[in-house]
A and B are shown apart, each in its own frame.
Chain A
């Protein structure tokens, strides 16, 4: 059980981020919420008008609805990873904020939880904006606002941890391009955001299921569009989350504490 004063420490760090957020609301609105909306408009309206309907998992839905639910997954991936990786690197390497706070009554462990939970909060909020748009457009049931929330939280923590791990291992800010191009973009393109996974050759499908984003898109399709739930998505998602949270915290502590 975490101690009460540890929760206090984590909440202080989270509030530090929230404070920065409230000082630059317009900046955050543009950088956090505009991106998924642009994807929605481009793929939903543009590509959607070309494709019409898609059939996936035995369901026929409009391509717009299909892409809306995929963009939920894409949003937690990009928002979580970018904030954890680039935000985390800047705070650790250039600003040295982690080091400054971890000599106060707040420990480094609590600082890192505060960082991860803030990144998670931000990515989850962005994903919920996508759900709101889907509900308003009539593509998702209103209940999706609630049912998607736990999925968004778990996957946002997963990708924030992936980002923070990237920051912990990167020697320079440029090196974060490696996980971005080798992991984030391939997941974005091959994990069922833009087309049903069944369209891929079976070998690639297995590969795609090994990556964490496939479970997120699969569950997003289930919760927002009523596709049947793939049971394997749960252990894959929780396994990746647990693994990456542990790796990111361990790597960051080992980098900072000699």
Chain B
């Protein structure tokens, strides 16, 4: 196991182009020359509209997709040249449900741990502990199919922690969760961060990013438009004053600016800049 200080994620000039057939010219550059670094104990947010390249970025970082150019290292291991060593440190929660429905809730976690060379016995012990923390302990022996959508999502996040990863990739982990469960998940993720896990969080929820992330990158059409702490981004793009917004005809809200205002401005989803006073 690599040293805690060493287990950082470095993405250097990552580019990913999609080809219809190998050898053909690329039809799309999904990720264009992006670079960032996530230190142990840091939560880094990846924000952007659908199709911005968030999931492609995560697929390249996990080494599932090859990169067209650039380099990704996890704890010093190149994820494309030495995926086995790099991924020993990595936990991935993909956007899609990839739970193994042939196993019960508990066996599912313990079996997944064996892919990281964790013995089955130790895997079961960790599974019980995780299920308790995620509030799924009463479902331990149930088949996955009997869980609600929100519970399945929780289980999939729990599964990413079974190998005690040093780097976490979370692709929209809280989509479809009710506010209560979302908070439970935030607490667990922040606990992992407190233990020195480097965390990449892709999300649609601006409040989530603003609350959890030390830094966020605004991804649009495969490019990082800006990257800084949420508060710095707000000050840089909107200013410090209040934002005035007509939410319904005749109803005007005056509120402090938030990350959503930045997101809408820099991605160009709304061309008109909200009224702001510095």
Contact = CB atoms under 8 A, between A and B. Distances in A.
Interface in A10-26: 12, 15-16, 19-20, 23
A101 B112 CA distance: 8
Most chain B CB within 10 A, of A5, A15, A101, A258, is at A258
Question: By DSSP majority rule, is chain A's interface helix, strand, loop, or mixed?
Answer: helix
Looking at B101, B115, B116, which has the most chain A CB atoms within 10 Å of its CB?
B115
Given A12-B114, A97-B100, A257-B64, A105 B94 contact: no
Given A101-B115, A105-B116, A257 B66 contact: yes
Interface stretch (B85-93, B125-133, B239-247, B266-274): B85-93
Contacts of A180: none
Contacts of A9: 84
Which interface residue of A5, A16, A108 has the most chain B CB atoms within 10 A? Answer: A16
Interface of B: 18, 56, 59, 62-66, 83-85, 87-88, 90, 92, 94, 96-103, 107, 111-112, 114-117, 163
A20 B100 CA distance: 10
Interface of A: 5, 9, 12, 15-16, 19-20, 23, 95-97, 99-108, 256-258
Given A16-B111, A105-B116, A99 B96 contact: yes
Chain B, interface SS category: loop
Contact of A20 (B65, B87, B102): B102
A100 B112 CA distance: 9
A12 B115 contact: yes
A105 B103 contact: no
Given A19-B111, A95-B98, A96-B98, A107 B83 contact: yes
B64 A102 contact: yes
Contacts of A102: 64
A20 B144 CA distance: 14
Contact of B84 (A19, A20, A107, A108): A107
Given A102-B64, A103-B87, A96 B111 contact: no
Given A95-B100, A97-B100, A100-B98, A108 B64 contact: yes
A21 B261 CA distance: 53
Given A107-B84, A108-B64, A257-B66, 11 more contacts: A12-B115, A19-B103, A23-B103, A95-B102, A96-B97, A97-B98, A99-B98, A101-B115, A104-B115, A105-B117, A257-B64
